[in-house]
Amino acid sequence: MTKSIFITGAGAGIGLETARLFASKGWFVGAADRDQKALESLQTELGERVCSTHVADVTDEKTVAGALSEFAELTGGAIDALHNNAGILKVGPFESLDIQDHRAIVEINVIGLMNVLHAAFPYLKAASGAVVVNMSSASAAYGTPDFASYSASKHAVRAMTEALDIEWEVHGIRVCDLMPPFVNTGMVQANAGASRLFDSLGVNLAPSEVAAEVWKQVCSPQLHRPVSNQFKILWPIARSSPAAVTRAVMKKLRRS
């Protein structure tokens, strides 16, 4: 039987490349996004036999539940993989950003993630060995200046991943995440120049490289998967170093 994956934020960036990759591997893709035109373009590219599109806003639990239900009708009631990719980013000193921007980051990156996980659970449970891949971030390793609310949202994703990987184990569901540094997407490009961290750390990852890591997680899940050689080295150091050391490094990077 054909394997299936449901992807949020599939209209652009990492989600789009993930849809393309899984379709090329013979999977049936459920692509969800707020951008109907982007979804129509994706379905034209991949074909209706390979891709089902669903207009949905992850902050609206009714549209999320409806999209997942529609997709599950096409997959026999089970979904083999879920890629929680939808998210937004707004960069700058905390006090300089409008409070509505901070609220939107939390609503989409955290509440939206929870809406999708909650609605997807019965379909994941119905599959054999389902895998959830959440999009966390390198900023979940330590609170990141100029990215305060975004970093906080990704810490929440990391915690949700750890908790559900334990809770859902009894149902045969693995829950894991990806932790990439900056990825060259429209979301990051829209914030170019808003923080020196972009220059000091670089924007070196392509969306297709992260999509390849989604594939690795589905094939061989690990709780947290750091992405890029740079962060693969830094992640264990950040976890084991005293907080004062990590804090000093972050301050230096912000000034660079």
Q: Residue 248 CB: number of other CB atoms within 10 A?
A: 12
Active site (annotated) includes residue 142: no
Catalytic residue, candidates 150, 168, 182, 215:
150
**Of 180, 61, 60, nearest in space to 119 by CA:** 61
Distance CA 255, CA 75 (A): 51
- Give the residue numbers annotated as catalytic, written as ranges: 150
